Chains A and B, each alone.
Chain A
Amino acid sequence: MTTLTDPPAESFKLSMLVYDTRYRSITFQIVALVAFLTLVGWLANNTIQNLADLGKEPSFAFMTDPAGYDINQRLIEYSSQSTHLRAAFVGLLNTLLVAVLGCATATVVGVIVGVLRLSGNWLIARLMTVYVEMFRNVPVLMWIVLAMAILIETLPAPSAFRGDDPAATMKVFDSVAFTNRGVYIPEPLFSRGLGDISVFGAFGISLDLIAILLVLGVSIFISKRIGKKADATQEATGIRPRTWHLRTAVIILPTALLLLLLGFHFGYPALKGFNFQGGTHLRNSLIALWLALSLYTAAFIAENVRAGILAVSSGQTEAAAALGLRPKRIMSLVVLPQAMRVIIPPLISQYLNLTKNSSLAIAVGYMDITGTLMGITLNQTGRELETVLLGMLIYLLISLSISAVMNWYNNRVKLVER
């Protein structure tokens, strides 16, 4: 197409804008730009006119008004007198919480199921196929609603724990209560805690947690240094000094000491009044959403994992077997690391899907960003344009960050080809 030899020195003609490849691309782009801007302008113009007709003015001022409603699961301080902005933030944290939990669980379940689908055990392989097909071919919204219904219908109500001869009892040494309002587990408490540090005056982060993470980080760093030193000794002398006891001690002792200093103990849930008090309350809306999302996504991940494993040529397995590796080690040392490269790109989109599907939380009353900002706030203020656009922007940012992080990881593990 670009075989113009010695273009004659000609004067510019209008038709060259279309026919001359030198100008054509510019012409096209200008046409596209004008068309795009016209479209945007048209939409904006319509919006302004429609809003004027409705007597509404786009403004985010309502975000600082008191929200007026309560949220059950809040990772930061919140009351009905807090602002809509804060309610949105509570929702955002809830979205992130269920997304992170879901992605982690889905990965683990997906890998296990993907491997088991290729198992030699006929029954297991068939069961896994049934699981994968069942979850892949029924809408996720149905699974979420079903998971919630199953939790509500099969677990005992807190009142079943009451009385001298209760119908239900707490499990795991009387420390965990499974109820149809959720699961109550022991919570870590510090009798000599350091309190919270306020960030931007908006929300608090536990200083205890920071201190523990800091000490643990330093310990791990030191332990790694010891390991490196051992490596160096091994390379120099051929003998590897025994370091495991030292390394274990370095990791465990300082943290344990710190926990002791802070007065670490567990707070156990106990039935008081209408509900269990104390302990951490994992609400069944969270559990249902978490379970349904991760099992649904895991079915897809399992298929990716299976495809990834099948993509590793059988020569690799045979070679590893010839080296005398046992089947389990072949899988973990030879096949999976190679399959990873095939698995990761679709895994990224599964993570994205899970995060986006978490917006179905409203079906079970989990207060995520869709439930707070695009749900109750929208209802109570009637600000559709602002809340929905803001919500979309937030989801877009979450999605873009996930893809950015995962793409970075993918580039790191990618096989570097010539």
Chain B
Amino acid sequence: MKKTVFLGALTAAGLAAGAAGATTLEDVKARGTLNCGVSTGLVGFSAPDANGEWTGFDVALCRAVAAAVLGDQTAVEFVPTTGKTRFTALASGEIDMLARNTTWTFSRDVDLKFTFNGVNYYDGQGFMVPKALGVSSAKELDGATVCIQTGTTTELNLADFFRVNNMGYEPVPIETNAEAQQQFLAGACDVYTTDASGLAATRATFENPGDYAILPEIISKEPLGPLVRHGDDEWGDIVTWTLNALIAAEELGITSANVKDMSSAATDNPEINRLLGSEGNLGEMIGLNADWAVMAISAGGNYGEIFEKNIGENTPIGLARGLNALYTDGGLLYTPPFR
């Protein structure tokens, strides 16, 4: 008899599912919330705080997209995903976009049939060692025990690196960053390898960060970015251009503080006007309100603000902009024009 409740729930869920099937944008608007896949917990990138509010660098991107589409940065359902479940969750439509420091690779784009919407963090795989080990280069790591997070591209990069350099190693696969940190600090592995940003973030929380060094070698390119399913280009465009808007905003000097003023009255920079919707009809073209970019930028600020707030040098994580500076500052961030 108790089964019936279950059937009732199934029915309700089935009916809810019946409404699906239109484009992702329509789905999101009809639902009133954006389902955004994030990591189950990665320092600085996504973690729930004591009130259950998600914060972090990846989380901020989800909020910006929600603000652009729905006009409300809190209209996001954060779906924690693991390395294993993230792609299935996206492919099955459980989430509308994935912002889980995911590396843009050929096979993920082509074979797994996802569309990457640009890069929100340029990363590379690095190594961290205790200074006491006396190692100054990754080439000296022959025979070392290496902690790696499973389910990521780092595993394959590591195998390639050691094979190419004809060195042996002992991999210690680990599910989460927290466990890796514990093993590394206790000396159960000599080396911890993951994306350099993750290494820096992890090291920042150590009791004595100065006792550990990040080796100079970066053995891979890890462009991390948001992604959506193949086949819904309108939705892909929205995510792509929301990210671009955040970057362009930094370039154009639009911040969360002045975005309201700048959008209320047309400025003398036509690109700012087009971006903020006071000139042209970019919002209409992308299927959103004219103030979509204003909303996205006021959600968490421009790219630079988001970076500084979550992972920048004034946070415990203390990452430098490096490759993630604007191209004008010697970085790689270069957005196509808003025209």
**A and B co-occur in one complex:** yes
Contacts of A274 in B (CB 8 A): 133, 141, 143-145, 190
Q: Is A58 an interface residue (CB 8 A)?
A: no
Q: Are B145 and A180 in contact (CB under 8 A)?
A: no
CB distance from B20 to the nearest CB of A (A): 13
A356 part of interface (Cβ distance < 8 Å): no
Residue of B nearest to A54 (CB): B91
Q: Mark A364-385, 1 if CB is under 8 A from B, else 0.
A: 0101000100011011101010
B19 contact set on A, CB distance < 8 A: none
A160 to B175 Cα, complex, angstroms:
27
Which of B113, B152, B183, B189 has the largest count of A CB atoms less than 10 A from its CB?
A: B183
List, in ascending order, chain B residues with CB within 8 A of A156's CB.
187
Bound complex: CA A362 to CA B190 (Å): 21
CB atoms of A69 and B156 under 8 A apart: yes
Pick the residue among A71, A158, A180, A272 that contacts B171 (CB under 8 A).
A71
Distance A160 CA – B130 CA, assembled complex (angstroms): 14
Whether B156 lies near A68 (C-beta < 8 A) is yes
Does A284 sit at the interface, judged by CB under 8 A?
Answer: yes
Task: Report the separation of the CA atoms of residues A160 and B189 in the bound assembly, to the nearest whole angstrom.
Answer: 13
A149 is an interface residue with CB less than 8 A from chain B? yes
Asked if A226 is an interface residue, CB under 8 A from chain B, the answer is: no
* B156 with A362: CB separation less than 8 A: no
**In angstroms, how far is the closest chain B Cβ from the Cβ of A225?**
48
Using a CB-CB cutoff of 8 Å, which residues 215-240 of chain B contact chain A?
230
Count contacts on B: residues with CB < 8 A to the other chain: 40
- Taking CB atoms, residues of chain B closer than 8 Å to A376 are 150-151, 155, 173
Given contacts A371-B173, A380-B156, contact A152 B188 (CB under 8 A): yes
Q: Taking A54-B113, A376-B151 as contacts, is the C-beta distance between A157 and B187 under 8 angstroms?
A: yes
Contact between A158 and B187, CB atoms less than 8 A apart = yes
Given known A-B contacts A68-B156, A72-B170, A371-B173, A379 and B187 have beta carbons under 8 A apart: no
Most chain A CB atoms below 10 A, which of B141, B169, B171, B230? B171
Query: Which residues of the other chain, A, contact B132 by a CB distance below 8 angstroms?
Result: 159
Of A153, A273, A375, the residue contacting B186 (CB under 8 A) is: A153
8 Å CB interface, B159-201 against A: 159-160, 162-163, 169-175, 182-183, 186-190
Cβ of A275 under 8 Å from chain B? yes
Q: Is B264 an interface residue (CB 8 A)?
A: no
Contacting chain A: which of B80-88, B115-123, B288-296, B319-327?
B80-88
Interface size class of chain A, counting residues whose CB lies under 8 Å from the partner chain? 35 or more
Which chain B residues numbered 118 to 153 have a C-beta less than 8 Å away from chain A?
Answer: 132-133, 141-145, 150-152
Nearest-neighbor residue (CB-CB) of A366 within chain B: B173
The chain B residue with its CB closest to the CB of A156 is B187
Residue from B112, B145, B183 within 8 A of A275 (CB atoms): B145
Complex interface residues of chain A between 1 and 52 (CB less than 8 A to chain B) = none
A287 → chain B closest CB, angstroms:
12
Centre residue among B84, B150, B160, B173 by max chain A CB count within 10 A: B173
**A273 — nearest CB in chain B belongs to which residue?**
B143
Chain B nearest CB, measured from A132 CB (Å): 29
* Nearest A-chain residue to B163, judged by Cβ: A80
Q: In the assembled complex, how far is the CB of residue A358 from the closest CB belonging to chain B, in whole angstroms?
A: 16
The answer to the question of B268 belonging to the interface, with a C-beta cut-off of 8 Å to chain A, is no
Option from A277, A284, A379 in Cβ contact (under 8 Å) with B151: A379
Which residue of B83, B144, B155 is within 8 Å of A69 (Cβ)?
A: B155
Closest to A69 in B: B155
Give min CB distance, A390 to chain B, whole Å: 16
Give, as a whole number of angstroms, the nearest-CB distance from A360 to chain B: 11
Residue of A nearest to B159 (CB): A80
Looking at A68, A69, A380, which has the most chain B CB atoms within 10 Å of its CB? A69
Q: How far is the CB of B293 from chain A (nearest CB, A)?
A: 33
Contacts of B53 in A (CB 8 A): none
A68 to B162, CA, bound (A): 12
| Residues in B neighbouring A379, C-beta threshold 8 A | 83-84, 150-152
20 contacts between A and B (CB under 8 A): A55-B113, A55-B230, A68-B160, A69-B155, A70-B171, A71-B171, A80-B159, A153-B186, A158-B187, A180-B188, A181-B170, A273-B143, A273-B144, A274-B190, A365-B172, A365-B173, A365-B174, A376-B151, A376-B155, A379-B150
- A residues contacting B by CB (< 8 A) are 54-55, 68-72, 79-81, 149, 152-153, 156-160, 180-181, 272-275, 277, 284-285, 362-363, 365, 367, 371, 375-376, 378-380, 382, 384
B residues adjacent to A (C-beta < 8 A): 83-84, 87-88, 91, 111-113, 132-133, 141-145, 150-152, 155-156, 158-160, 162-163, 169-175, 182-183, 186-190, 230
